[in-house]
Chains A and B, each alone.
Chain A
Amino acid sequence: MPRQSVPRLLLLLPTATYRTAAFVEAARRLGVELTVASERPSTFQDANPGGLVTLDLSDPDRAAAQARAFGREHPLQGVVGVDDDTAVVAAAIADRLGLRGNAVVAARAARDKHEQRTLLAAAGVPVPRFTLYRVDDDARQLAAGVSYPCVLKPLRLAASRGVIRADTPEAFVAAFERVRRILERAGSEMRDASVSTDLASRIPHPASGSILVEDFVPGPEVALEGLLVAGQLQVLALFDKPDPLDGPYFEETIYVTPSRLPADAQRAVAACAERAAAALGLREGPVHAELRVNSRGPWLIELAARPIGGRCSGALRFEIRERGKGKGEMLSLEEIVIRHALGMELPVLERERQASGVMMIPVPGAGVLREVRGVDAARAVPLVEEVAIVAHPGQELVPWPEGARYPGFIFARGASPEAVETALRAAHRELQFVLV
C-alpha cells in the first residue's frame, strides 16, 4: 500500500509520446508514487485505479476537473506534462489543485506561436517580424506584401511539421497551399485519434485556423534546456545544431553539447531565454528554447514550457555535486523535472564533463519501412553509445514538412563536441533504410 509520506506524481503521457519509458523509469528511481494519465484508457485502469487514469487532454479545464476528482481519492503532490499540449493541461491541473506549476495563461502563451511572438515582441525580446494570416486568405494577394525570405508556420504543430521557407512570391503561394493541406490532414488525424465523437467534434477544423508568416532569421541555431525555479532560469544544457537549418523544410538532425559558441554569446542566449520566459509569465518547470545567433545577437525562435522532445533527453546526464554522494552518481533530465514538480530537494547539478550528442535520424524518403540495415555497424562506431530505431517494420515514413516522426535516434559521447558530431555522422552513414 502507498505510504502517506511518499509523494504522488500525476504524469501526463499522451499515448503518442516518445517519453514514456524515460519518465516512468525516472519516477521509479525516485521512489515516488506514480499515476499515469493518458487521453485513452489503459486496459489496466480498473485493476490499478490509483496508478492509471484517463483525462481529456484536449481540454485543460475538463482535465483539471477530472484530476481534482481523482485527487480526492488519491491525493496528488505534483503534476508533469511531457509535451506542448500537456504542458497547458499540467498548468490547469496545478492551478486547480494548488500544485507547483505555471499560470495557465502563461502555458497557453508558450503553446501558441503567434501569442508567444506578440508577447515577446512587446517585451522587447528579439523575435523575427511576423504576421498572422487566415488559411482561407488569398495567398496570391498576400504574396505581394510579404518580405522575403520568409517562413510559414502552423500555430500548433510540433517538430517543425508544416514549417516551410519561401524566397519568392511563387514559392510563398505554393508553400501557403501546402501548409493548408498539412493543417487539414493534421485535423483529420486528431479527430480520428479521438476517444469519442464528442471529443472529436470539439477539435476545431484547421481550415478555420491561421498561418504565421515571419522573416527568416539567418545564423546558426541552438537549443537551450533549462529549469525555471521561482522565475529564475537554471541553464541545464546548451546544444549546437551543426547542420544549417536554412530550409526550405526544417527537419532537425544533430544536437551536440556543450555549445561551441563563445562564452559571451552563450551568456547572451541564456539571458534572452530568461527574458522570454519572464515575458510569457513562465515561472516553474522545464523550458526548451530554440534561438538563432547572428551579428545582431540572439533571436528567440521558439520557447516551450516542456523538456526537450523525442528521445533526445538521453543525451543529457547530470552529476550530483553534493557532499556524501558517491562519485559518478547521475540524474536524468526526467528525474530533475519530477523532483522539481514534487518540491523535492534539487541537488547542485552540473551536466557531465563529457561532450554528448544525439542525431534525430532523418526520414530517408517516403514509403513503408521494410527493414533497417547496418545497425550493428553503426553501433560499432567509436563513441556511439546507442542506435535506437523507433520506426517499426511496416510503418509509413513521411518526410518533412508533412511528416513529424523520426525513424530513430543515435547517441554518442566523447571528449569533444567535434568528436561526438563526427561519430554521429559516421554512424548515420552506416544505416540503410529499405523502403517499399
Chain B
Amino acid sequence: MNPAEIRITAEPIDTSRCKFVVSEPVHAGGVRRFASSDDASGSPLAEAIFAIPDADVAEVIVSGNLVTVVKRGPAPWQTVGKAVGQAIRAVVAAAGPAVAPKPAGPATPGTDDDALYERVADLFESQVNPMVARHGGRVELIDVQDAVVMVRMAGGCQGCGMADVTLRQGIEAMLQQHVPDVKGVVDITDHAAGSNPYFAAAKK
C-alpha cells in the first residue's frame, strides 16, 4: 500500500492525550495497550511511537482503526502528531502486522486481566449500563490490559457535556469500590462524532 493513501485524523483530547483515526485497519485483534517501550517490543507501531524524540510517550493504545497516544513531554501535538502520523503510515503500509497479538496470561505479575475483565463486565452489565441507560447512554467494555479498563461510550453519553463526570465520578468510582484491583480507566470514545448527547454545552 502507498503510505500517501492512508488518511489520518488527529483529535487531541488535551495536552497529553491525542487520538488518531486511521482510514485503514491498524489492529483487528481487539485492544492493545502499551505502557512502556519494553511493552512495545515486538509491535512495530508502538515501538515507532515510543521512539519519537522529545515526546516522552507514556502510553499507546491501539484498537481497530484508532491509535491513542499519551505523552508527558511539553512538545505540542502539532509537532508530535506529525511524527505519530508518519509512524502510522510507515507501519500500516508495510506488509507485516502493526501490532503483535495480545500475549497470553497476565502481563504484570499479580494481576490477571482476564479475571478482571469478567468482574468488570459483570459490573457494567448489572449496574453501570442500567444507570447510564436512564440518560439514553451505553458504556462498552472494550478491554482490560495491565489492570487498566478501556471503555467506549455511546448513545446519550457520546459527546455529552458531562461525560467526564460520568467517567470519573461514576464509572471509575464504582470500579474502585467493586473491583479495587483496577488501576485506571481510559475512555477511547470519539466524542466529536456523538449525534445525540444527553447534555450539550451551551454557556460561555
Interface residues, chain A, with chain B CB atoms under 8 Å away: 13-18, 20-21, 24-25, 28, 34, 36, 38, 42-44, 47-48, 51-52, 83, 158-159, 309-310, 314, 317, 328, 330, 375-376, 379, 382-386, 388-390, 392-395, 404-405, 413
Q: Identify 8 new A-B residue pairs, CB closer than 8 A, beyond the known A18-B161, A310-B204, A389-B192.
A: A16-B199, A21-B163, A38-B165, A42-B162, A328-B73, A379-B9, A386-B12, A405-B202
Residues of B within 8 A of A (CB): 7, 9-10, 12, 14-15, 73-74, 76-78, 81, 127, 131-132, 134-135, 159, 161-166, 168-171, 173-174, 177, 192-197, 199-204
Residues of B within 8 A of A38 (CB): 162, 165
Instruction: Report the bound CA distance from A310 to B169 in whole Å.
Output: 22
Q: A43-B132, A47-B127, A48-B174 are in contact. Are A24 and B203 (CB under 8 A)?
A: no
Q: For residue A309, which residues in chain B have a CB less than 8 angstroms away from its CB?
A: 203-204
In the assembled complex, the CB of B132 is this many whole angstroms from the nearest CB of chain A, namely 6
Please name all residues of chain A whose beta carbon is closer than 8 Å to the beta carbon of B165 when the two chains form the complex: 13, 20, 24, 36, 38, 42, 52
Is the CB–CB distance between A158 and B204 below 8 Å?
A: yes
Whole-angstrom CA separation of A133 from B131 in the bound complex:
48
Least CB distance from B157 to A in Å reads 10
Task: Show 24 residue pairs from A and B whose CB-CB distance is below 8 angstroms, ordered by the A residue.
Answer: A15-B162, A16-B199, A16-B200, A18-B161, A18-B204, A20-B161, A20-B165, A21-B14, A24-B164, A24-B168, A25-B14, A43-B131, A44-B173, A159-B204, A310-B204, A375-B9, A379-B10, A382-B78, A385-B12, A385-B76, A389-B192, A392-B195, A393-B195, A404-B203
Instruction: Point out the residue from A17, A48, A314 that lies within 8 Å of B201, measured CB to CB.
Output: A17
Residues of B within 8 A of A34 (CB): 168-169
Q: Give the residues in chain B near A388, CB-CB below 8 Å.
A: 12, 192
Question: Least Cβ distance of B126 to chain A in Å?
Answer: 12
Residue of B nearest to A405 (CB): B202
Q: Given the complex of chains A and B, what is the CA–CA distance between A44 and B196 in angstroms?
A: 20
Q: Is the CB of A16 within 8 A of B202?
A: yes
Distance in angstroms from A245 CB to nearest chain B CB is 14
* CA distance in complex: A188, B5 (Å): 51
User: Which of A24, A43, A395 is the one whose CB lies under 8 Å from B200?
Assistant: A395
Instruction: Please tell me which one of the listed residues A48, A384, A393, A394 contacts residue B170 in the complex, with CB atoms under 8 A apart.
Output: A48
Residue of B nearest to A48 (CB): B173
A36 to chain B: which residues have CB within 8 Å?
165, 169
Q: Least Cβ distance of B176 to chain A in Å? A: 9
Q: Across the interface, do A317 and B15 meet the contact criterion of CB distance under 8 Å?
A: yes
Q: Which of B7, B127, B169, B204 is A42 in contact with, Cβ under 8 Å?
A: B169
Taking CB atoms, residues of chain A closer than 8 Å to B193 are 393
Pick the residue among A24, A43, A382, A404 that contacts B204 (CB under 8 A).
A404
Interface centre among A36, A38, A330 (most CB of B within 10 A): A36
Say whether A51 contacts B169, CB under 8 Å.
yes
**Shortest distance between the CB of B164 and any CB in chain A (Å):** 4
Distance in Å: Cβ of A39 to nearest Cβ of chain B: 11
- The 8 Å CB contact of A47, one of B174, B200, B204, is B174
- What does DSSP make chain A's interface, helix, strand, loop or mixed? loop
Residue of A nearest to B178 (CB): A47
A435 to chain B, nearest CB (A): 15
Chain B proximity of A310: nearest CB distance (Å): 5
Contact B203 A47 (CB under 8 A): no
Given A83-B203, A404-B202; A20-B162 close (CB under 8 Å): yes
In whole angstroms, how far apart are the Cα atoms of A47 and B130 in the complex?
A: 12
The distance in angstroms between the C-alpha atoms of A48 and B131, with both chains bound, is 12
CB proximity of B189 to chain A, nearest CB, Å: 12
In the complex with contacts A17-B201, A43-B131, A44-B169, A384-B78 CB distance below 8 A: yes
> B78 contacts which of A158, A383, A392 (Cβ < 8 Å)?
A383
B203's partner among A51, A159, A375, A413 (CB-CB below 8 A) is: A159
A-B pairs, top 4 by smallest CB distance, nearest first, are: A44-B170, A159-B204, A309-B204, A18-B201
In the complex formed, the residue of A with least CB distance to B170 is A44
How far does the alpha carbon of A13 sit from the alpha carbon of B174 in the complex, in Å? Answer: 21
Q: Which of B14, B77, B161, B173 has the most CB of A within 10 A?
A: B161
The answer to whether A16 and B201 touch (CB under 8 A), given A24-B164, A385-B12, A392-B159, is yes
Q: Considering only CB atoms, which chain A residue lies closest to B12 in the complex?
A: A386
Q: Is the beta-carbon distance between B170 and A47 smaller than 8 angstroms?
A: yes
Contacts of A328 in B (CB 8 A): 73-74
Q: Is the CB–CB distance between B173 and A16 below 8 Å? A: no
Q: How far is the CA of A354 from the CA of B196 in the complex (A)?
A: 38
> Given A20-B161, A20-B165, A48-B170, are A394 and B196 neighbors across the interface (CB < 8 Å)?
yes
| B203→A158 contact, CB < 8 A | yes
Q: Output the least CB separation between A25 and chain B (Å).
A: 7
Q: How far is the CA of A156 from the CA of B192 in the complex (A)?
A: 30
Residues of A within 8 A of B135 (CB): 43
Question: Which residues does chain B contribute within 8 Å of A159, judged by CB atoms?
Answer: 203-204
Give chain A residues whose Cβ lies under 8 Å from the Cβ of B199. 15-16
| A312 nearest in chain B by CB position | B204
Closest Cβ–Cβ distance, residue B35 to chain A (whole Å): 18
Q: How far is the CA of A47 from the CA of B46 in the complex (A)?
A: 37
A382 cross-chain contacts in B, Cβ below 8 A = 78
Q: Which residues does chain A contribute within 8 Å of B134, judged by CB atoms?
A: 43
Q: Say which residue of A28, A394, A413 sits within 8 Å of B76 (CB atoms).
A: A413
A-chain residues with CB within 8 Å of residue B204 when the two chains form the complex: 18, 83, 158-159, 309-310, 404
- Shortest CB–CB separation between residue A321 and chain B, in angstroms? 15
